[in-house]
A and B are shown apart, each in its own frame.
Chain A
Amino acid sequence: MRKLTLLLVCLLTLALFGLQASALTVEEIIAKVDANQYVKSARAEAEMIITNAGRKITKTMVSFVDDDNSLTTFTNPRDRGTRFLKRGDDLWMFFPDAEENVKISGHMLSQGMMGSDFSYQDMMESDKLTELYNFTLIGEEELEGRPCYVLEGIAVEGQEVSYYRRKLWIDQDRFTGLKEELYAQSGRLLKVLNVTQVKQIDGRWYPVESVMENKLRKNTKTEFIVKSIEFDPEIPPGTFTLENLR
């Protein structure tokens, strides 16, 4: 009888935990993901490998991010010294040969950054996802052996976003995105992002390796590898200025 009681208590506990896990609201799930992935300020070194039908180009960069501002400096030979400064919706580029800062037209933000499958907006979209999309929980699936929440986000009316709809697979244990499908308003699948490595850095799970596949192009993908990242570093005043860009 005692054993049976113990078993019932255990089952009830498990069931309660299980219920608690699935009872998380979408807002709570996204808030937990944001706690891991939303970067308020950081310094990162990263590598971007663009592959197309067997050909490869590797680009390396150093970035500072602080709220809505970012400064990226390319360090690979082909683009060495090219810099981008984003202040809010303003994008500026430094041309190293002429050593001149030039304001980039807004429509260029949706172009592939330096020939990659990531657009400038993909790289620089610094707002929290909950501010840009209305999310709903549409199911639970296992991905690469890890149970995931599957969320669907539809762009908030009036918000300028790169993709009308996005479908996210969120690791139920670590609360990081493991996969993302990005759709146009027509329903057409545009890009698929697969996170291939997640690391615990400063107490938060952070995706450090991911692959973006452009579904509108054949045999093309861009790998994005975060070589190092420091959260909330001391960023020198004047980092996000044209003075510092040149």
Chain B
Amino acid sequence: MMRRLILTTMILVMFSSSVQALALEVGGELIVNFDGQIKEGLELELFLPPLGNSEVRYAFTLDRPLQDLLAGEDVTYFAKKLYIKHRFPGLHLTLGRQPVSWSFGSLLNPVDYTLGAETLDQENASKYTDALEAFIPLNWNSSLTLVSSFPAGFTTDLDQMKWGARARIGVKGYDLTVNYVQEEKRTLIPRQRLGLTFKGDVGDFGVYGAVGHQFATGIDSINSYLLGADYSYNLNYDTKIHMQLEYLVSELGDQELIVGGIGYPIDDFSEVSMITTVSLANGSTVLIPRYQITLPRGVDLAIGGSFTANKNPEGFLRLSYPF
């Protein structure tokens, strides 16, 4: 079954140009990671033409398909998106595997639908979930989103479902959100969570923040606070050094973190960046430098590492080719 899928995938990739002629586009990325061992991967997305106000999206990843095929093993397949969306007037319904992400531009997000630190451009499988989402626009920058997801697979058992609601309001250039999440019953953290976020500009600075309150009957509630700012320093009128600094304090695991990110574009094709995380609770510091460059023929190369005191450094090299 999996081999047939891979064969189909490869045929689709090989003939993507002729497929495009049928108004169906195939896009994706070939990836080779090296972090001590070589891992190849393939990300593929089918862009199907919309049918009236409905659209179907299908995107999946294959981990180590060649190595597994050569070893005669099943390939790890993960569907990132397989959903149908219908846009009714004043209501969009999305049913199926879909990303549910409540990002607001921060490096850390203590009030995301799925909790866990992640940056916007990083892959995080947990945000892809089987869900039904209702999106209700209120005006051009305000909306209400209702989500019901099924972490343990589709079920009618309310205890095994996860619920969420998010209101987004634009006020005088500020993006404000209020959200509520009720986790499935088996969760280890307090089941209910209220979150507030804001993002806007103060002078030349982008400022943002979040407050999270997790609670459940019979146990102590947990609060989280995030405050952040970003800024571009103009070097020689041209090169902009982008900086981001965040302070997170969370009673969940007694975290008190300062996270800073800095990016320096060397030219149009390459950039160096560094993310530093300092834990004020235990004094540990993690440095994550990264260099990325677009090579001739559109191949991206990223080299980086993770350096922590009293631990062996970890490095990585990533080659990718978007198509």
Cα–Cα distance between A52 and B296 once the two chains are bound (Å): 11
A89 contacts partner chain B, Cβ-Cβ < 8 Å? yes
In-complex Cβ contact of B99 among A87, A99, A102, A107 (8 A): A99
Instruction: Evaluate contact between B322 and A110: CB separation under 8 angstroms.
Output: no
> Is the beta-carbon distance between B140 and A241 smaller than 8 angstroms?
yes
The residues in A between 117 and 156 inclusive whose CB is less than 8 angstroms from any CB of B are: 117
Q: List 16 contacting pairs A-B, 8 Å CB cutoff, sorted by A.
A: A52-B269, A57-B268, A77-B322, A87-B140, A87-B141, A97-B121, A98-B127, A99-B98, A105-B206, A111-B240, A112-B240, A112-B268, A115-B269, A116-B268, A241-B137, A241-B141
**Whole-angstrom distance between the Cβ of B239 and the nearest chain A Cβ:** 8
Q: In whole angstroms, how far apart are the Cα atoms of A100 and B99 in the complex?
A: 9
Closest Cβ of chain B to A212, distance in Å, is 12
Q: Is B298 an interface residue (CB 8 A)?
A: yes
Contact of A98 among B103, B205, B295 (CB under 8 A): B103
Report A180-237 residues with CB < 8 Å from chain B CB: 184, 188, 190, 214, 216-217, 220
Beta-carbon contact of A57 and B269 below 8 Å: yes
The 8 closest A-B pairs by CB, nearest first: A105-B206, A216-B238, A243-B137, A98-B101, A241-B140, A106-B201, A103-B175, A107-B232
Chain B interface category by residue count: 35 or more
- Tell me which residues across on chain A come within 8 A of B240, comparing CB atoms: 110-112
Please, which residues of chain B bring their CB within 8 A of the CB of A214? Answer: 238
Within 8 A of A (CB), among B197-253: 199-201, 204-206, 230-232, 234, 236-240, 242
Question: Counting CB contacts under 8 A, is A240 at the interface?
Answer: yes
B269 contacts A105, CB within 8 Å?
no
A15 on the B face (CB < 8 A)? no
User: What is the CB-to-nearest-CB distance from A67 to chain B, in angstroms, rounded to a whole number?
Assistant: 14
Complex CA gap A105/B203 in Å reads 10
Interface presence of A32 (CB below 8 A): no
CB-CB < 8 A to B160: which residues of A?
none
Which residues of A (39-87) have their CB < 8 Å from a CB of B?
Answer: 50, 52, 54-55, 57, 77-78, 80, 87
Is the beta-carbon distance between B238 and A217 smaller than 8 angstroms?
yes
Contact A105 B101 (CB under 8 A): no
The answer, among B27, B127, B141, B231, for a CB contact under 8 Å with A77, is B27
Cα–Cα, bound, A97→B123 (Å): 8
- A90 at the binding interface (Cβ < 8 Å): yes
Rounded to whole Å, the gap between the CB of B269 and the closest CB of chain A is 6
Instruction: Report B152-184 CB contacts with A as 1/0, cut-off 8 Å.
Output: 000000000000000010100101000000000
* Contact call A77/B137, Cβ cutoff below 8 A: no
B192 at the interface (CB under 8 A from A): no
| Chain B residues positioned under 8 Å from A38 (CB to CB) | none
| Known A77-B323, A90-B173, A104-B105; further 19 A-B contacts with Cβ < 8 A | A55-B296, A90-B141, A97-B121, A97-B123, A100-B102, A100-B103, A103-B104, A103-B175, A106-B204, A112-B265, A188-B237, A190-B238, A216-B239, A220-B267, A242-B168, A243-B135, A243-B137, A243-B140, A243-B143
* Cβ B137 vs Cβ A105 within 8 A: no
Q: Give complex CA distance A78, B29 in Å.
A: 9
On whether the beta carbons of B268 and A115 are closer than 8 Å, the reply is yes
> Are B99 and A105 closer than 8 Å at their CB atoms?
no
A188 to B234, CA, bound (A): 14
Interchain CB contact under 8 A, A110 and B232:
yes
Decide if B279 is an interface residue (CB 8 Å cutoff): no
Please judge, given known A-B contacts A100-B101, A107-B232, whether A57 and B298 are in contact too, CB under 8 Å.
Answer: yes
| Most central of B200, B201, B204, B265 by chain A CB within 10 Å | B201
Q: Check A108 for interface membership: any CB of B closer than 8 A.
A: yes
A105 CB contacts on chain B under 8 angstroms: 105, 199, 201, 205-206, 230
User: Which residue, B137, B205, B238, has most C-beta atoms of chain A within 10 A?
Assistant: B238
Residues of chain A with a CB closer than 8 A to B137's CB: 241-243
Rounded to whole angstroms, the CA-CA distance of A80 and B236 in the bound complex is 32
Cβ-based interface call for B318 (8 A): no
Q: Which residue of A lies closest to B234 (CB)?
A: A110
- Residue among B135, B200, B204, B267 with the most chain A CB within 10 A? B267
Contact of A55 among B168, B238, B265, B294 (CB under 8 A): B294
Q: Is the CB of A184 within 8 A of B199?
A: no
Question: Are B105 and A103 in touch, CB under 8 angstroms?
Answer: yes
- Quick check: B269 and A216 within 8 Å, CB to CB? no
The one of A98, A103, A216 that contacts B237, using a Cβ cutoff of 8 Å: A216
**In contact, B140 and A240 (Cβ under 8 angstroms):** yes
A50 touches B268 (CB 8 A): yes
Q: How far is the CB of A149 from chain B (nearest CB, A)?
A: 27
- Answer yes or no: B92 CB below 8 A from chain A CBs: yes
Which of B102, B239, B240 has most chain A Cβ within 10 Å? B240
* A55 near B103: Cβ-Cβ < 8 Å: no
